[in-house]
Amino acid sequence: MIQETPGKLTARDKKLANFLYWIPWIAFPLIALPFPVVFFLLFLGSAATDAAAVYLLLAVIGLALGCFAGALVMILLFLYRKRWLRRLRNKLAEDGITASEVIWFTSELSTAERKTLLETGKHSLLLADAYRETLASRLTASRILAKSNQELVRVRSRITRARSLAGADTATLLLDLESDQRQLESLKTEAKDRLAEARARLQTIEAAASRSLNQAETHAMLRRLSATQEHLPLVIEMDELERKTLREAERDLKELESPVSQKRSGLDDG
pLDDT at residue 52 is higher than 60: yes
Candidates 101, 123, 140; CA nearest to 205 is 123
Query: 59: closest CA among 77, 42, 71?
Result: 42
pLDDT confidence bin for 164, thresholds 50/70/90? confident
What is the pLDDT of the chain when averaged over all its residues?
80
Tell me the range of 4-13, 73-82, 209-218 where mean pLDDT is highest. Answer: 73-82
Burial 246-263 (b: 16+ CB within 10 A, else e): eeeeeeeeeeeeeeeeee
> Cα-flanking dihedrals φ and ψ of residue 48, to 5°?
-80, 140
| Alpha-carbon distances of 149 from 16, 34, 154, 183, 188, rounded to whole Å | 32, 51, 9, 12, 7
Q: Give pLDDT, residue 51.
A: 82
| Spatial distance between the Cα atoms of 143 and 148, rounded to a whole number of angstroms | 8
Averaging pLDDT over each range in 115-129, 161-175, 179-193, which range is the top one?
A: 179-193
User: 94-98, 238-242, 248-252, 263-267: which has the minimum mean pLDDT?
Assistant: 263-267
Break the chain into its structural domains and give their ranges.
Answer: 7-94, 96-221
* Percentage above 70 pLDDT, the chain: 78
Instruction: Report CA-CA distances (Å) from 16 to 12, 150, 217, 238.
Output: 6, 31, 41, 67
Radius of gyration of the chain (CA): 39
Which residues are CB-contacts of 142 (< 8 A; sequence separation ≥ 6)? 108, 195
Among 63-67, 168-172, 251-255, the least confident range: 251-255
Higher-confidence residue of 34 and 253: namely 34
Instruction: Let me know: does 101 contact 133? Beta carbons within 8 Å.
Output: no
- Mean pLDDT over 220-237 rounds to 53
* Average of per-residue pLDDT across 32-52: 84
**Integer Cα distance of 8 and 63 in angstroms:** 44
For the cut 60, the answer to whether the pLDDT of residue 140 exceeds it is yes
For residue 202, give the nearest of 123, 246, 139, 125 by alpha carbon.
139
Q: How many CA atoms lie within 13 A of 74 on its CB side?
A: 16
Distances from the Cα of 264 to the Cα of 255, 258, 261, 269, 270, angstroms:
15, 10, 5, 9, 10
Q: Which of 105, 134, 101 is nearest to 208 (CA)?
A: 134
Instruction: Give the predicted TM-score (pTM) of the model.
Output: 0.66
170-186 pLDDT per residue, tens:
788 888 888 988 999 99
Residue from 80, 62, 68, 67 nearest 23 by CA: 80
Nearest alpha carbon to residue 212 among 87, 85, 96, 124: 124
38: CB partners within 8 A, 6+ apart:
62
In the predicted model, is pLDDT for residue 191 greater than 50?
yes
- Residue 110 DSSP code: -
Angle at which helix 34-45 crosses helix 49-92, to 10 degrees, equals 160
Res 115: pLDDT: 87
Mean pLDDT, range 57-64, rounded to an integer:
90
